[in-house]
Structure 1
Amino acid sequence: MENEIPEHCPGVQSEAAGKASTCDGCPNQKICASGEIIVEDPKIMVGIQERMLNVKHKILVLSGKGGVGKSTLTSMIARVFAQDLAKNVAVMDIDICGPSAPRIMGVEGETVHQSGSGWSPVYIGENLSVMSVGLLLASPDDAVIWRGPKKNGLIKQFLSEVDWGSLDYLLMDTPPGTSDEHLSIAQYMLPCQLTGAIIVTSPQEISLLDVRKEINFCRKVNIPIIGIVENMSWFVCPKCRKESEIFLATTGGARQMASEFNLPFLGQIPLDHRLTQACDEGIDFFEEYSDSATASAFIQLVKEIKAHIKE
């Protein structure tokens, strides 16, 4: 399959990364061979690990496909976790070229402050915070046109210089694919006892094809997979209440794929225009539509996540 990760990948930490014969054809070969992801200042790694000591569960949200709703799911999962006021929750947005967390979480235009202990994340509530490159831009319309090393540097700063405090859950929203940001976060987080990754897909085969690559990526770089979520599984018409499948699962959807890879299937989330509107307006979907099927689906999803991370 085109751009498939080699079956016998030596791993990003290996001296043979990007140079072995099995690396031929891998989309990340040049990055690995450059050594950018291998040589790191030990002080930075120590700084990251010290920050992460105060974070109980460190969860990546991944998908090989764009447009499946990773940022929406990350934000909604964080909001459900934060409904327990005894838990401290944060979202770290490492979708550097397409940062949408500030808009979705309702903090667009807020300013990141710096103190002696580092950058302070922006708080949505007393126990829910977010950090994103979108909070560092002069305007939401500014384009982030960066090569890999600069993206890598910002991820290091988010992990080592943000004063996250003591957290129960840190959810990390990622861009599509298996490239710079993913390799960096894997390198930095695996020594910090990464809890695992939630894989997001939509039902149609074109999405599942890319998500299969993401699963293979996780296995090659030893990222534990918590389970798979199927987003936009169905749509209920607000007028006639008829249920429709907008994106047909011609090959069995995420449930079948989870079975093929022997991974937990965490649940399905319906397509809901009210959720889209809430994300556009930055309002809390669960306050406005607590009795909706979509809210119930997210609450059930979080129960499944907690069960699989032994919370």
Structure 2
Amino acid sequence: MDQIIIGVDTHKSKHIAVAISRQGARLGTMTLPTTRQGYRDLEVWASELGTSKAFGIEGTGAYGAGLSRDLLAKGYTVLDVMRPNRQLRYLHGKSDSLDAESAARSVLNGQATALAKTQAGASEMIRHLKIARDSAVKARSQAIITLKTLIINAPAELREMLELIKGPIKLIRHIAALRPGKIVSPTASAKAAMRAIARRWLLLHEEIHAHDQELEPMVREKAPGLMNTYGVGVMTAAEMLIVVGDNPERIKSEAALAKLCGVCPIPASSGKTNRMRLNRGGNRQANAALYIVAITRMRDHEVTQNYVLKRTAQGKSKREITRCLKRYIIREIYRELCAPNDAKCAP
């Protein structure tokens, strides 16, 4: 049978698939529900049209995650496809079937080359736990900001009493144990509000600690070499494992990983002007993690400090040196997470 390419436009409750031949002819369209039976129906439908060479799916990390995971588990090649650009939509219109066909043609003409993550191993489990942890950290920060505001605006007697307590944890535990009694005065209402927020902070603090206890052994088992890299902590290693995923063979080189993390310069030349600009794209969480490693090394890593002195003497600013350091750090991370010869995960 002839080889075909399937493009899929993904949505919350349904997907639209379009099949094209190797010559670009449109062979058929199918609408499927986002269920396991729907995924099986897509596989049967595609097999009736020909041999599936590849599936181009929009949003393999969002609405297309379930379908992508199912197809990868069955051995199919799945490519992550970007949505059509606005110019094409302006020229040809917008519909789900047109988007699916555009996804298929992106695979056919070689524009879509990014292999989808398998999302079925330790890196995916780490991602789930880190999402929960990051959410708890954000909520805890908001809680302490609100609590401090309430203390500042509290009645004078209550505020002066709380200011005598030294240490943030001791203060929060004291507030959590307040007994406001019946709400008949501003002091009682302030105590009730502060107690609620303090108890929320303590619960979030315990949740974050529990996530840390779960994440550390998982990260150390997945990437022991990376954990031994200077300046790389558990959360930094976790972020890099999430970026690389459970199938690091999809990242062909350290330059590809650098681009994925937004630490490579972007050409911005035109005519007689030859220049590079900053990469504002990529995974910004990973970029922030690399920044933390760079700052840590600049503070107390002798080799890095010597490099900083050398580049400073060459006229580089601190920001420029930090960008260079992040690119060097990516090289180390690539060597730890992906073997350069066979592109397999580090043990």
Q: Whose Rg is larger?
A: 2
TM-score by length of 2: 0.27
Flag the structure with higher strand content: 1
Q: Going by fraction, where is helix more abundant, 1 or 2?
A: 2
Higher RCO, 1 or 2 (CA under 8 Å, sep at least 6)? 1
Q: TM-score, normalised by structure 1?
A: 0.30
